[in-house]
Amino acid sequence: MRLSRLLRPRTVVSAHCDLPCGVYDPAQARIEAESIKAIAEKYQASEDPEFRTRALIIKEQRAELIKHHLWVLWTDYFKAPHFEKYPHLHQLFNEATKLAGAGGAKGSVDPAVAGRLLAKIEEISTIFWETKKA
């Protein structure tokens, strides 16, 4: 997280419901991805079959939330001028949501996969906060 983001005025908020209210924040996706990473670590550290099944149930739900939060940013927050300025943005979101799905965080319990997802979300977050400053 860049210092510029940490020090942004608190009143700068951003849109996330489809009224739209205008309050968006990639932190919603990031928090779920941190959860996925922690779940994967606890899964690997446990041999209890009931705990492991619960971990898979919950991971599936959190990964679905990540996809949802990212889709909302891609469709609702980012506009044509953003896609012009960041030509790889479509692909970045497509890769990030794929990485939250069957080919990534849903299909794997490897903490490293969750780590890669977190890195993708951070890439999106960096672009997001750049567009907020502009």
Taking the least distance from each CB to its own copies, the nearer of 68 and 116 is 68
Sign of CA dihedral 43, 46, 47, 52: negative
Closest contact distance (angstroms) between CB of 134 and its own copies is 20
Closest contact distance (angstroms) between CB of 114 and its own copies is 11
The DSSP code for 102 is: T
Cβ atoms of 95 and 108 closer than 8 Å: no
Taking the least distance from each CB to its own copies, the nearer of 23 and 112 is 23
Q: Token pair of 19, please? A: 């009224």
Q: Residues in the site for its own copies, rule: CB under 8 A?
A: 1, 6-7, 10, 13, 15-23, 25, 27-28, 31, 34-36, 38-39, 42, 50-51, 53-58, 60-62, 64, 67-68, 71, 74-76, 83, 90-91, 94, 97-98, 101-102, 106-107, 109
Closest contact distance (angstroms) between CB of 13 and its own copies is 5
Taking the least distance from each CB to its own copies, the nearer of 54 and 130 is 54
Burial 46-79 (b: 16+ CB within 10 A, else e): eeeeeeeeebeeebeebbebbbebbebbbebbbe
